[in-house]
Chain A
Amino acid sequence: MTTLSHAPIAGSPRELARRFLSVPSAVIALSVFILFCILGFGAPWIAPQNPYDLRQVDILDSLMPPGSVSYTGLTYWLGTDGQGRDMLSAMLYGIRISLIVGLLSGVLALVFGTFVGLIAAYRRGWVDTLLMRIVDLQLSFPTILVALILLVILGRGVDKIIFALVVVQWAYFARTVRGVALVEGAREYVDAARGLRLGGMRILFLHILPNCLPTILVVATMQMAMAISLEATLSFLGLGLPPTRPSLGLLIANGFDYLQSGRYWISVLPGVVLLAIIISANVLGDRLRDILNPRL
């Protein structure tokens, strides 16, 4: 039911990048996001402690406020949690898990959804009708409810939460891509390509798909923010990730028990980081939409 009229993109990538960065909020958001990517993916090298290696974690160091020094000489710059884990390390690894979950589920949903959308747009007829019925059905159910039930059935684990998130996200991509592809398919260059007797798949993937990319990019950014937020919410409800390998959402949930006794650092710091990641991803998506101007 979204109407997609696709405005041609003006200018070269360099021009687009310049325009993208002409707004300070976008620059900040991009830097914040890149920073967290570096921190998250670099966690094993940056973190002062491996929070999953139980030999490095000492319960006697539990609940230390930020800046405390362990008897081993390690400084806990952001304090420790109830198990004696260094919060800085736990957060770095938490960022890593949240980003992996967000990015991986986004990419998988993107690939699958785009594929379905392209097929639907290309084959038309009953294939299209059937696929779009499924998409409509999927979209008519609230994402969080579907993911929640899936996780109840599947159990816990990073792979399982990624699967659940792909299930709830792919339909957005499929519908968007189909819309754009239908419009693109009606353009002259596709007619020209058909005139040249190029194969269907070739037209689909080499000509139509590239023109869908801006739209996909915008949807993907927004979806990633949603996926990270959803993962945190599910973890909070006790579904999703195992407590021994906490994501940011789980760190917040664990830390909430300590809030009332004044140990703010266990819950508030991961909360701030989670917010920063989600907000920066959303700002990026917003800016991309302004620049690339797909009508969503």
Chain B
Amino acid sequence: MTFLKPGLFAAAVMLALPVAAQEVLTIGVRSETSSLDPHWTQLSADVQVHEHIFEKLVALDATSQPIPGLAVSWAPIDELTWEFKLREGVTWHDGEVFNADDVIFSFDRLRAGISGAPASPAFHLEKGAKQWERIDDYTIHITTSEPYPTVAEDLAMLAIVAEHAATGVTESVDFNSGLATIGTGPFMFEEYSPGNLASVVQNPNWWGGEIEWDQVVFRPITQDASRLAALLNGDVDMIDYPPTIDLPQLQEDPDFTVSTIPADRLIYLMPGYKHVEPFITDNDGNVMVPNPLRDWRVRRALSLAIDRETIRDRVMGGASLPTRNIVPPGFFGYVDALEADPYDLEEAQALLETAGYGDGFNIVLHGPNDRYVNDARILEVVAQMWSRVGITTEVDAMPRNIFFSRLIRGDELTIPGFDVPEFSMSLTGWGTVAGEATYTVSGTLETYNAATGGGNGNFGRYSNPEIDARSVLAKQMVDADERLRLLQEAITIGMDDYAYIPLHFQVNNWAMRAGLEHQPRTNERTMAMDVSRVD
């Protein structure tokens, strides 16, 4: 089945007229850009626009592995110091020359704090208590308080802004107007109108070489169906997150192209490990003591009862990669031996029998309904599947603006100081932005420790000393091979114990008109540099 679109030809003709002189790429994106200050947030929707204008010392390739950006090379020179050599001959969009002062300025600006920013990437500087020092015009030293292996990965999150343009700029206003939006990147600021569009034009002096597009326009279109409609009738050339339901048709349609890559975002189910969990009840409705989820056989049974391939085919439109790993293939820390659990009802049933829960119990499954791809639908299908092995599952899906507060802090607002995660079983996601597993292991598998930041995403409060030992060591292990071993061991231990139940990695898709080719990235960002014309 293909889409009906007699008007497409007319639209294409109309578009072709102004395009003749200029190569314009219009991208329909799901989330609007909140600010053009690259130190304001680290949300992908913002960063993908920032990265057209601003660059980082360390860039990321398509699988999020560090490659040279504004720094040409880096290496540890002693236990605690990393030396970064900067790229020479780079100029800012206004012609000024880039040097180490701009880097120092950018880091100082971040550390001083961006007033009112809810999600500034500044915390990447606090990891390892980094200090920075200018050695000469094109050399920088970064020192940490303890041996720290992932300095480059952290710096890949921090944009470099121009000292001469951004000095004294504390409010987003000056970045949004273009005044301080002077970068070194392949594109230059043109126009920003919140909620309507952000557009950039080619930087003819970019050090990185030829750029295909003269102008790139980002248009936020929140509604999935509207975004697809905009692509179908030619309003935009390309969209991110095409509705998964329509993927099969889009793939078959000769007028459109779909690009696909497994993303760094793991979708998983997190069991609660408290002795008593309020949302787990026996068949008479009484809260169960002890909490059955503390028995690993129950957790394994729950995992085996999920038919991940059916979720992929029926819910995700094929756009998921069933897994038992916690970082996607190609990332540092991926364990080849861990394969997605098969769907095995009988084994699940048998495990529940031996654990003493043959009659089943009741559970409430919480999750967001507007955060991850098809999140509410996944919840319902998992509930269907668990109900088949006798675990009657009720779904409570809620908007993310409520879900995350309750997930992280529970009833904080009702009972001050009572910041204990609330849910007994919840669906969440974890994005491994850095391209390597150190902080994924530390964040999701390590025992929760507010002081060290360990287990800060461990909302089930899982705790396993075997993992803790390896994770803490890995965070300081500069030797890459040794670190890989520690991480893979920790992941294998955690997954064998079913610390949580991985479902899949999201597979990201982009849909574009035929004649475009897109080299997608694992980190969900849509970059015009990755798109080229083939017609």
User: Which A residues fall within an 8 A CB radius of B?
Assistant: 54-55, 57-60, 62-63, 82-84, 155-156, 238, 242-244, 256-263
B1 within 8 A of A: yes
In the complex, chain B residues 187-244 whose Cβ is within 8 Å of any chain A Cβ: 224-225, 228-229, 232, 243
1/0 contact string of B375-406 vs chain A (CB within 8 Å): 01100110111011000011111110010000
Q: List 12 A-B contacts (CB under 8 A).
A: A60-B310, A83-B377, A83-B380, A83-B381, A84-B314, A155-B402, A243-B376, A244-B396, A256-B225, A257-B245, A261-B1, A261-B248
Q: A59-B384, A243-B376, A257-B225 in contact; A54/B245 too (CB < 8 A)?
A: no
Q: How far is the CA of A54 from the CA of B381 in the complex (A)?
A: 8
B229 pairs with A260, CB closer than 8 A: yes
- How many residues of chain B are within 8 Å of chain A by beta carbon? 35
Contacts of A260 in B (CB 8 A): 3, 225, 228-229, 232, 243, 246
Q: Is the CB of B398 within 8 A of A156?
A: yes
Contacts of A244 in B (CB 8 A): 380, 394-397
Contacts of B245 in A (CB 8 A): 82, 257-258, 261, 263
- 8 A Cβ contacts from B59-88 to A: none
CA distance A228 to B394 in the complex (A): 26
Q: Is the CB of A261 within 8 A of B246?
A: yes
Q: Is B139 an interface residue (CB 8 A)?
A: no
Contact A257 B314 (CB under 8 A): no
> Is B108 close to A, CB under 8 A?
no
**Are B225 and A259 touching (Cβ within 8 A)?**
yes
Q: How far is the CB of A46 from chain B (nearest CB, A)?
A: 23
Contact A243–B384 (Cβ < 8 Å): no
**A-B complex: 3 closest residue pairs judged by Cβ atoms:** A54-B387, A54-B384, A55-B387
A62→B314 contact, CB < 8 A: yes
CA distance A57 to B383 in the complex (A): 10
Q: Does B369 contact A (CB under 8 A)?
A: yes
Q: Decide: A55 and B402 in contact? CB cutoff 8 A.
A: no
Residues in A with CB closer than 8 Å to B228 are 260
Q: How far is the CB of A60 from chain B (nearest CB, A)?
A: 7
Does B315 sit within 8 A of A, measured CB to CB?
yes
Residues of B within 8 A of A (CB): 1, 3, 224-225, 228-229, 232, 243, 245-246, 248-249, 310-311, 314-315, 369-370, 376-377, 380-381, 383-385, 387-388, 393-399, 402
Could you tell me the distance between the alpha carbons of A82 and B381 in the complex, rounded to whole angstroms? 10
A58 to B387, CA, bound (A): 11
**B380 and A242 contacting across the interface, CB-CB below 8 Å:** no
CA A250 to CA B141, docked complex, whole Å: 56
Name, among B224, B370, B377, B385, the residue most crowded by chain A CB atoms within 10 Å (CB to CB): B377
A244-B380, A244-B397, A261-B1 known; A59+B387 contact, CB < 8 A: no
Contacts of A63 in B (CB 8 A): 314
Q: Across the A-B interface, how many residue pairs have beta carbons closer than 8 Å? A: 71
A273 to B393, CA, bound (A): 30
Q: Chain B residues near A256: list those with CB within 8 A.
A: 225
> What's the nearest-Cβ distance from chain B to residue A216, in Å?
37
B2 to chain A, nearest CB (A): 10
**Are B246 and A238 closer than 8 Å at their CB atoms?**
no
How far apart are the CA atoms of A62 and B314 in the complex, in Å?
A: 7
B240 to chain A, nearest CB (A): 16
Chain A residues near B383: list those with CB within 8 A: 54
User: Are B384 and A83 interface neighbours, CB within 8 A?
Assistant: yes
Q: Which residues of A contact B393 (CB under 8 A)?
A: 54
Min CB gap B227→A, angstroms:
11
A60 near B314: Cβ-Cβ < 8 Å: yes
Q: A243-B369, A244-B395 are in contact. List 20 more A-B contacts (CB 8 A).
A: A54-B383, A54-B384, A59-B384, A59-B385, A63-B314, A82-B245, A82-B377, A83-B380, A155-B402, A238-B370, A242-B398, A243-B380, A243-B397, A256-B225, A257-B224, A257-B225, A260-B229, A261-B245, A261-B248, A262-B1
Q: How far is the CB of B50 from chain A (nearest CB, A)?
A: 28
Contact B370 A59 (CB under 8 A): no
Once A82-B377, A155-B402 are accepted as A-B contacts, the answer to whether A261 and B225 lie under 8 Å apart by CB is no
CA distance A258 to B243 in the complex (A): 9
Residue of A nearest to B307 (CB): A59
Given contacts A54-B393, A244-B380, contact A59 B314 (CB under 8 A): yes
Q: In this complex, what residue of B is CB-closest to A52?
A: B394
- Our pick among B370, B376, B384 for the contact of A58 (Cβ within 8 Å) is B384
Residue of B nearest to A243 (CB): B376
B228: nearest chain-A partner, CB-CB: A260
Q: For A83, list chain B residues within 8 Å (CB).
A: 377, 380-381, 384
Contacting residues, chain A, for B398 (C-beta < 8 A): 155-156, 242
Pairwise interchain contact B243-A257, C-beta atoms closer than 8 A: yes
B residues less than 8 Å from A242 (CB atoms): 396-398
**Minimum distance in angstroms from B216 CB to a CB of chain A:** 26
Collect the chain A residues with CB atoms within 8 Å of residue B396's CB: 242, 244
Cα distance A18–B384 in the bound complex, in angstroms: 52
CB-CB under 8 A from A156, the residues of chain B are 398
Looking at the assembled complex, report how far the CB atom of A29 sits from the nearest CB atom of chain B, in whole angstroms: 32
Q: How far is the CA of A243 from the CA of B377 in the complex (A)?
A: 9
Known: A59-B315, A244-B397. A54 touches B380 (CB 8 A): yes
* CB neighbours of A259 from chain B (8 A): 225
Q: State the CA gap A57–B248 with chains docked (Å).
A: 24
Q: State in angstroms the CA–CA spacing of A155 and B397 once bound together.
A: 11
In the complex, the chain A residue whose C-beta lies closest to that of B317 is: A261
| Distance in angstroms between the alpha carbons of A242 and B398 in the assembled complex | 7
With both chains docked as a complex, state the minimum distance between the C-beta of A50 and any C-beta of chain B, in angstroms. 12
Taken together as a complex, chains A and B put the C-alpha atoms of A82 and B370 apart, in Å, by 17
